[in-house]
């Protein structure tokens, strides 16, 4: 079976000269829920940004959904199909209200306002956020913002989820709800987290990024 995402010999340095990735190989297959671990500054967020084309590798190849992706135009499709939830929700949310933030992506994809209304309602319900629909996004609490950021990505119904520290700021019940939700979703996902209890419950595989390379961890 072909991989959904395949990284081959990926090298990446920031303009500052810092070498972050030094030959990363990775395959994401249908049904995988991969825990991506590694110490602070190891390059986990950078790796998710590369998959989405928000950074460009110095060398190596990114294959996604059956095609090699090199240029900005190749990644427009990848960004819709592999939804990235940023580590910092303030990087994700930019509309005045929660409902508008959720509607933005689907409207941009050309869906009708009726369809968008349905998607927004369904996604708010899935994440138990109905009560926040009309709230001003930038005045939400940290945990609320994180859930709304996840909701904006879920509203696009991506084939793959790239989740950067999804449990930060969440209370215990909400973390529990997120565990149930993620394990019931059909999508393949890469989950960056430092929360081992959460990863043990959700992930089917674990990889660790260390000194610029990815190592598969024993189950
Ligand atoms: N825009 C940038 N310009 C220059 N260096 C950067 C930039 N973003 C991140 N870095 C550096 O690249 C390295 C990898 O950062 P990254 O954010 O990918 O780490 P991380 O594994 O996600 O860490 P954390 O667990 O703290 O979120 C770090 O040393 C960081 O300081
Ligand atoms: Mg990070």
CA angle 106, 147, 54 (to 5 degrees): 60
CA distance 82 to 69: 13
What stretch of H or E contains 27?
A: strand 19-28
User: Mean of the per-residue pLDDT values for the chain?
Assistant: 96
CA distance 177 to 128: 9
C-alpha of residue 87 to centroid of ligand 2, in Å = 6
pLDDT tens for 78-122 read 999 999 999 999 999 999 999 999 999 999 999 999 999 999 999
Residues with CB in 5 Å of ion ligand 2: 44-45, 87
Q: Whose alpha carbon is nearest atom 4 of ligand 1?
A: 14
What stretch of H or E contains 6?
A: strand 5-13
pLDDT band at residue 131 using 50, 70 and 90 as cut-offs? very high
**pLDDT computed for residue 218 by the predictor:** 82
CA distance 195 to 37: 9
**pLDDT computed for residue 2 by the predictor:** 76
pLDDT band at residue 1 using 50, 70 and 90 as cut-offs? low
Q: Which has the higher per-residue pLDDT, 160 or 17?
A: 160
Question: If phi over 0 gives left and psi between -120 and 50 gives alpha, with beta otherwise, what is residue 110?
Answer: left
For residue 146, the SS3 value is helix
Q: Among residues of the chain, what percentage have pLDDT more than 70?
A: 99
Model pTM greater than 0.85?
yes
10 C-beta closer than 6 A to ligand 1: no
User: Which ligand approaches the C-alpha of residue 195 most closely?
Assistant: 1
Phi and psi angles of residue 99, each rounded to the nearest 5 degrees, phi first:
-60, -40
Name residue 207's beta-bridge partners. Answer: 36, 216
**pLDDT computed for residue 76 by the predictor:** 94
Give just the sign of the alpha carbon dihedral 108, 111, 112, 115: negative
pLDDT tens for 29-53 read 999 999 999 999 999 999 999 999 9
* pLDDT surpassing 90 at residue 68: yes
Looking at 46-187, which runs of residues are DSSP E strands?
59-64, 67-69, 82-85, 160-164
C-alpha of residue 148 to centroid of ligand 2, in Å = 19
pLDDT tens for 164-215 read 999 999 999 999 999 999 999 999 999 999 999 999 999 999 999 999 999 9
Q: Which residues have a Cβ under 8 Å from the Cβ of 168 and sit 6 or more positions away?
A: 87, 142, 146
């Amino acid at each position: 079976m072909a991989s959904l995402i395949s990284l081959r010999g990926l090298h990446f340095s920031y303009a500052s000269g810092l070498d972050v990735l030094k030959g990363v190989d990775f395959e994401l297959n249908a049904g995988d829920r991969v825990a991506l671990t590694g110490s602070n500054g190891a390059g986990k967020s950078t790796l998710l940004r590369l998959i989405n084309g928000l950074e460009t590798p110095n060398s190596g190849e990114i294959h996604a959904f059956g095609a090699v992706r090199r240029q900005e135009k190749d990644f427009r499709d990848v960004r819709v199909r592999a939804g990235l939830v940023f580590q910092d929700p303030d990087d994700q949310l930019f509309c005045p209200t929660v409902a508008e933030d959720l509607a933005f992506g689907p409207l941009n994809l050309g869906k009708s306002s009726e369809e968008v209304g349905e998607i927004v309602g369904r996604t708010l319900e899935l994440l138990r956020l109905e009560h926040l629909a009309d709230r001003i996004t930038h005045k939400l609490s940290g945990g609320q913002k994180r859930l709304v950021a996840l909701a904006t990505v879920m509203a696009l119904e991506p084939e793959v989820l790239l989740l950067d520290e999804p449990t930060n700021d969440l209370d215990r019940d909400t973390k529990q709800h997120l565990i149930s939700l993620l394990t019931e979703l059909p999508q393949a996902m890469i989950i960056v987290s430092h929360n081992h209890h959460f990863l043990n419950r959700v992930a089917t595989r674990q990889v660790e990024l260390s000194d610029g390379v990815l190592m598969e961890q024993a189950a």
